Structure 1
Amino acid sequence: MAAWYALAAEDTRTVDFARSRYVLHTTADPDVFIAEIDTAFTDSDAVALVQIFRLRDGRIAHLRDYFAPSLVAS
């Protein structure tokens, strides 16, 4: 995981908001929702990830990320 954050800190790509998209999914638990995110960049392909959010008192209490293993390959 540390490799991912090191890579993200050095990332200078520009997000192409016109090509990026997301879908939000609700769950049976009103404090949990799932986001599917495709972030497109102007000079490369999109990066797809899934995030699971758990809220407590209206704030994010827990966040779990799932993304392509190739993003952290060294």
Structure 2
Amino acid sequence: MTRTHRELFERYVHAGAISRDPEAIAALFTDDGEYEAPLVPEGHPLPRRLVGREAIRAGIGAYHREPAYQGTVDAAASGYVLHETADPDVFLVEIDTVLVAPTGQRTTVSLVQVFRVRAGRIAKLRDYFAPPPQVPSPPQPARGA
């Protein structure tokens, strides 16, 4: 089944940012698919480069178990613009993701993703984002208080 670029992107967003399901993310990639996040700083829980469906599943799975940002995505407040290119196998997406920290603080992370597809799956994804700053969790009451 061949998906449109919009369908593929929306499935990727749902599997990743919304449900944090590494199995579903990996299933969207070709067996030899590549995920790159060139702007991620050294020491970040998400590796800069993952090659192969199994590496994508493991790397993104580890990242989602201990995400650099604790909070949720406000899907209704977030938005994107998908751009088709002259190459029918390449599209890019400008994204503004609204994140809500456990404290209630909201922050917008803007990013660009470049997708190369093959046979309806992601063959290569370059994810140009800088992780949002950590917002401290609210203080917890002392035990026995």
The TM-score, its normalising length taken from structure 1, stands at 0.78
Structure 1 residue ranges, 4+ long, deviating more than 3 angstroms after superposition: none
Deviation of 1:44 after TM superposition, in Å, equals 2.1
- Aligned residue runs from structure 1 range 9-48, under 5 A: 9-42=67-100, 43-48=105-110
Question: Could you tell me whether the CA contact under 8 Å between 2:45 and 2:68 is conserved in 1?
Answer: no
In structure 1, the partner of 2:44 is 3
Greater strand percent: which structure? 1
Indicate the RMSD between aligned Cα atoms, in angstroms.
Answer: 2.4
Gaps of 5+ in 1: none
Amino acid at match of 1:54: R
Matched to 2:44, the amino acid is A
Q: 1:53 aligns with which of 115, 124, 128?
A: 115
Partner-residue secondary structure (3-state), 1:18: coil
Contact preservation (8 Å) 2:114, 2:127:
yes
* Paired residue secondary structure (2:87): coil
- Match of 2:72, SS state, is coil
> Under a length normalisation based on structure 2, what TM-score does the superposition of the two structures give?
0.43
For residue 55 of structure 1, what is the amino acid of its counterpart? V
Q: Distance in 2 between matches of 1:72 and 1:41?
A: 9
Q: Equivalents in 1 of 2:68, 2:106: separation in Å?
A: 16
Which is greater in Rg?
2
Instruction: Please state whether the residue corresponding to 1:9 is helix, strand or coil.
Output: coil
Aligned residue-pair number:
71
Percent of aligned pairs with the same amino acid: 52
Paired with 2:108 and 2:89, the residues of 1 have a C-alpha distance of: 29
